[in-house]
Structure 1
Amino acid sequence: MIMPRGSGQLLLPAKPWFIGLSLLLALLADMLPLGPQPAMPRLLAVVLVFWNVHQPRRIGVGWAFLLGLLIDVHQGAVLGQHALAYSGLAFLGVSLHRRLLWFGVWEQTAQVLPLFFAAHLLQFLVRMAFGGMAPSPWLLLAPVFEALLWPMATALLLAPQRRAPDRDEHRPL
Structure 2
Amino acid sequence: MNHPHYILLPVNSFFIALSLLLAFLLNLFPWGNVVGVPDFVALVLVFWSIHQPRKVGIGVAFVMGVLMDVHDAVYLGENALAFTLLSYFAISIHRRVLWFPPLVQSFQVFPLFLGVQLIQLAVRLLLSTDAHFPGWLFFLGCILTTALWPVATWLLLAPQRRAVDKDHTRPI
Q: What TM-score do you get using the length of structure 2 for normalisation?
A: 0.90
> CA 1:108/1:6 → structure 2, altered by over 3 Å: closer, same or farther?
farther
Work out the CA distance in 2 between the residues paired with 1:6 and 1:127. Answer: 44
Runs of 5+ in structure 1 lacking a partner? none
Which SS does the other structure have where 1:125 is aligned? Answer: helix
Please provide the CA RMSD for this pair: 2.2
Q: 1:17 aligns with which of 14, 18, 24?
A: 14
Work out the CA distance in 2 between the residues paired with 1:74 and 1:7. Answer: 42
The count of residues paired between Structure 1 and Structure 2 equals 168
Q: Is the Cα–Cα contact under 8 Å of residues 41 and 145 in structure 1 kept in the other structure?
A: yes
> CA 1:111/1:103 → structure 2, altered by over 3 Å: closer, same or farther?
same
The one-letter code matched in structure 1 to 2:162 is R
Identity %: 45
Quote the residue 2:52 is aligned against.
55
Alignment of structure 1 residues 72-111 onto 2, 5 Å: 72-111=69-108
Quote the residue 1:120 is aligned against.
117
Give the CA deviation at 1:170.
Answer: 9.6
> CA 1:6/1:73 → structure 2, altered by over 3 Å: closer, same or farther?
farther
Work out the CA distance in 1 between the residues paired with 2:167 and 2:34. Answer: 48
Q: Is the Cα–Cα contact under 8 Å of residues 6 and 105 in structure 1 kept in the other structure?
A: no
Runs of 5+ in structure 2 lacking a partner? none
Quote the residue 2:158 is aligned against.
159
Deviations 1:13-64 (A, max 9, x none): 1100000000000001101112122311101100110000000000001110
Work out the CA distance in 1 between the residues paired with 2:4 and 2:82. Answer: 29
The one-letter code matched in structure 1 to 2:13 is P
Work out the CA distance in 2 between the residues paired with 1:63 and 1:54. Answer: 14
Name whichever of 4-13 and 65-74 sits farther off. 4-13
Quote the residue 1:28 is aligned against.
25
Which consecutive aligned stretches of 4+ in structure 1 deviate over 6 angstroms post-superposition?
none
Q: Is the Cα–Cα contact under 8 Å of residues 5 and 104 in structure 1 kept in the other structure?
A: no
